[in-house]
Structure 1
Amino acid sequence: MYRTLAKKLSNIFRQKHVTQKDIDAALLEIEKALIDADVALESINALKIHLMHKMSHLETIENLDIQSQLMNEVRQGLLELLESPTPPITIQPNKLHTIMFVGLQGAGKTTTCAKLANQLKTQGHHKILMCSTDTFRPAAMEQLKTLADSAQVDYFDANTSDAPESISAQAKAYAQNNQYQILIIDTAGRLEVDEARMNEAALIHKTVQPQECLYVIDSMIGQSALQVAKTFHKKLPLTGVILTKTDSDTKGGVALSVKQVTQKPILWLGSGEHIDQLEPFDPKQVVDQILDMGDIMTLAKRAEKHIDQDKAKQMTQRMQKGQFTFEDMLGMMDQMSALGGAKSILQMLPGSSQIPQHMLDMADDKKFIPIRALIESMTAKERNNPMLVFNQKTRQLRIKKGSGRTNSEFNELKKMYSKIEKMMSKMKKSRFKDQMANFMNPEN
């Protein structure tokens, strides 16, 4: 998500010997990198003040460790920009909690409403009602209704001829009369801020008096979005921010700027279109991404949630012995998909900003579609005995015909299998076996 900024910052710390002059130059490069990443000037100035204060006592330095010291101070400065003492949303029992969403059209606001409803439901809040007040865009209400079905929460059907504030009042009354715990109100978005729409949002807020007023902002939009954020902040009593499309290769400036501009905490990060792709905002993880330290914690959490540990252990044991089948390849693809895809995994690893773009492009999960189709066209015996397939042309012809795939796609499968098999052979000869055994069995 912060590939551009991460690459610029990581390059600053690559020299072996650092002097005060180097530090001054590094601070200037950091400022340039942040400007290039569309970070708001308020945020840049705040970080500069922090760094200049922390590094002012340094004179002439020839200590290699100064690189890590400077990186640590940059990290602490970024954390100060992003951290907030504000706790996440707390739902009081036996009391309706109203959440209002605002933001520009195209930021993913409507989808985020459903994502939050889904997350709150997984936390045990089952009486959730969603409502759209967007009478301007005909498909908006139908979209939210469909998303409500996906999240398995209720939807308030409104009369599109009613005024938005009237619809919100009706929805709140209905929620109260039917003992709902949470009411989520989606408001109309526009391509740009206009006085009429801002007044409409202010009137809805005045009508329903929500406990939360959340501003949804697209992470791919740069400085232009910050002026919009200031306008929303000035017109409405915002309580928090949700940053969307964080799986994109963006400059990263919005995350570093929006809190400084609105003085409101970032509460969640949204990625992708799936209903479960909303994660609580963790400043430490985001800063580590910015500084190219990877996002191993998020990767570990996803693994804990989605990976079958018993199957993974069995696969690891077979791989240690040099036993690798097409069934294992399917398992690996399933696991990568559960972790967000091969490209997403690579971008979460430390040093990911130095991975060439062509390698990231090669990790496109669409490339695995024909390989999966070929394997799924095999019999169980063939999946567990790759040589049976590679040594018999008649089987290859049947598999290609059954999957609808070409000779070149079959050859790609063969190349991939060969590469993984060679890697397994190297692991078998190395200390990998012992290392993996200790990892899988920490009590040993």
Structure 2
Amino acid sequence: MTDSENLLTRLDYSAADFWQRLDHLLAWDESEDAAIHTRVREIIARVRSEGDAALLDYTRQFDRFEAKNAAELELPKEALRAAWEGLPREQADALEKAAERIRAYAEHQKMSSWSYTEADGTLLGQQVTPLDRAGVYVPGGKAAYPSSVLMNVIPAKVAGVPEIVMVVPTPGGELNELVLAAAYLAGVDRAFRIGGAQAVAALAYGTESVPKVDKVVGPGNIYVATAKQLVFGQVGIDMIAGPSEILVISDGVTDPDWIAMDLFSQAEHDEDAQAILVTDNPEHLTAVHASIARLLPGMERREVIATSLRRRGALIQVASLADAAKVANRIAPEHLELSVAEPKALLSQIRNAGAVFMGSYTAEALGDYCAGPNHVLPTSGTARFSSPLGVYDFQKRSSLIFCSREGADQLARTSSILARGEGLTAHARSAEYRIRD
């Protein structure tokens, strides 16, 4: 096991090189892997040209599942229902409770159409409509997450998307019953046992069997992420997600063991995940470090956690919670825990975070499963300009303009002047036809 003394980087906010060292710690190498991009481009091109035949070949090659024909790639609705009905009562109850909370939260996010009418009768407004069809990518095999099914499908359903298509790889032909049950509960309309870049390509361009969608959402490996990046523009995507992150700001009121386990909860995702503690209490920092060293050997995924903490984890000492907020805003973390006595007061200083967990009792893990807000969050500092996945991601906004005769006269005069100033005379003349004599 790694020497606990060298397990995490220690940073001091008062050091002259603090920001430089912090930026180095945060740096995530997103440089393009030319070989992966080339391979993914080839897969996309082949799916576009060969359709189902390419899907069958790639599924055989990558997932070791031999389907006789394209029809066997689709999971019938009966299979989803059977998985749901066959769940142990405890798991079914947990899924139902999580789904209810996610749906209740999503209902608050729905945007509505609006308009207003000016004095001359001109109407201006916005019409909100759902996407026609959404595609949800769900990891399969070891990384099978029924919670991600709920988080991606339910907001789309609340938005009013008429058809939701799920793709999920089934390595070796193995189906994850909990994932299928979650799909049934959330309301997936069609499901296909395909994965990887080929599944993203099928959703983006359509095949003889897989319908083309308007937007692709959901997590996946580097091939899935690269494929989403390459098909963007043909379809919408949710985001290009990096490794999971957690930043905990603590003033020492929370049990050090709780803080250590909260850091572990993200570090256990993979070796590139990032877990950081910021505190203005030096004794608390020492106590959390001791808890990490004591608890780590008993963790099932201790090697992954240890590697994550060693590579990208940190314990940061600041002089005040105001300084901690500055650090948080610079990091713009995916998950931010305000494990302090007065979280609401500190929240007013936070500008950049995917999700904020307030108070000692609010573990980030609760948000991953059933608190209600979505767990699909911006990573790698993109919380500076991005937001969590939500109902609004599955709705479109169309501007509405209706001109009365009087309103058109006034707008046309203004438009004519501006259009001629830009040298666009057809624009100007089009507007001028509407000017009253």
TM-score normalized by the length of structure 2? 0.25
Structure with more of its chain in strand, by fraction:
2
